[in-house]
A = this chain, B = another copy of it.
């Protein structure tokens, strides 16, 4: 298996991207192609023990920065690392692409160069969300700020397949985010989507409210990209707020020294349990290829795990499964 990695992706590029790729090549035995400015990537790679590892470099002279307008940047920078890598994936030279770069740019270049899987209306960005009962797969988290019911139906089908085949959750419980658990609740979008979810063939368990998501009431949670983005970022913000506040309170108490020591250990463990890096980034579902989009703040561990997820998605045949499911669903719908 051959995976192309954007060496100029993360906020701290190329260090974490290259190191993560080296770790993955060593640990998972995958072949790695690093794409980026050769004069930057080569010396970075030389810092590592790579003898015998199947790692090569492909030169790309440009970079899409975090603050650029995604679609415009993808159009104007034809030699950006992200664009070059996406084209390699399109030509079938590699099996998957991993980038911790501009996620809008990944989305735009994936749509432009790979195209959508036949029958898929809109690709979705997804994220694995830690909950009380293990990981939950959330989509869309930002690719489509405004959605139609059929988009959400397809997100449910794709998300359910992914949760089953890659995350190993059998018969995943699929839910839709709403402003109340009762079926009568919800925006017009939610109310119009519910009948489509019922006939989508997934294990649809109904509406979830905000508080049900961290409680782990569903394995796959679908929502529009606006709400999904708010969910992911608000959770990060609330978690940080809580950790900061609890640390303050523990340190302010008598036995502060003991408290600080205890807190350090406990908090490190909590952070590990919540660590987005362990989950290896979000997958872009619905495009005709495996694209894993890591967090901009990715370090080497996050990049390594993103490569692990890419490998799992290829092995689980995510793209062909989605193609078959969407085609089968379209046939059923038309026959009805």
Chain A residues at the B interface, C-beta cutoff of 8 Å: 67, 69, 131-132, 142, 145-146, 177-180, 182, 184-188, 190, 209-215, 224-227, 229-246, 249-250, 252-253, 255, 258-259, 261-263, 265-267, 269-270, 273
**In whole Å, how far is A222's beta carbon from the nearest beta carbon of chain B?**
13
Residues of B within 8 A of A211 (CB): 233-234, 236-237, 240
Whether A241 pairs with B253 at a CB distance below 8 angstroms is: no
Chain B: minimal CB distance from A43 (Å): 34
Closest B residue to A268 using CB positions: B249
Min CB–CB distance A320 → chain B (angstroms): 31
CB distance from A193 to the nearest CB of B (A): 13
**A237 in contact with B212 (CB, 8 Å):** yes
Q: Please, how many angstroms separate the alpha-carbon atoms of A68 and B135 in the complex?
A: 34
In the complex where A214-B240, A227-B227, A243-B242 touch, is A209 in contact with B184 (Cβ < 8 A)? no
Contacts of A182 in B (CB 8 A): 67
Whether the pair A241, B269 counts as a contact (CB closer than 8 A) is no
**C-alpha spacing A180/B188, complex, angstroms:** 24
Q: A210-B229, A225-B179, A229-B210 are in contact. Are A145 and B69 (CB under 8 A)?
A: no
Q: Which residue of chain B has the shortest Cβ distance to A217 in the bound complex?
A: B237
Once the chains bind, are B233 and A209 in contact (CB under 8 Å)?
yes
Query: Residue A239 contacts which of B184, B242, B258, B270 (CB distance < 8 angstroms)?
Result: B242
For A146, A184, A262, the residue with the greatest tally of chain B CB atoms inside 10 Å of its CB is A262
A180-B229, A237-B212, A239-B238 known; A262-B265 Cβ under 8 A: no
- Cα separation A179 to B141 with both chains bound (whole Å): 9
Nearest chain B CB to A244 CB, angstrom units: 7
| Distance, CA A267 to CA B245, complexed state (A) | 10
Some 15 contacts from A to B, beta carbons below 8 A apart, are A177-B230, A187-B224, A210-B232, A210-B237, A211-B234, A211-B236, A214-B237, A215-B237, A230-B231, A242-B270, A245-B270, A246-B267, A252-B266, A255-B262, A259-B266
Asked if A146 and B187 sit within 8 Å, CB to CB, the answer is yes
Q: In the complex, A224 Cα to B226 Cα: how many Å?
A: 12
Q: Using Cβ atoms and an 8 Å threshold, which residues of chain B touch A233? A: 209-211
- Would B187 and A145 count as touching, CB distance under 8 A? yes
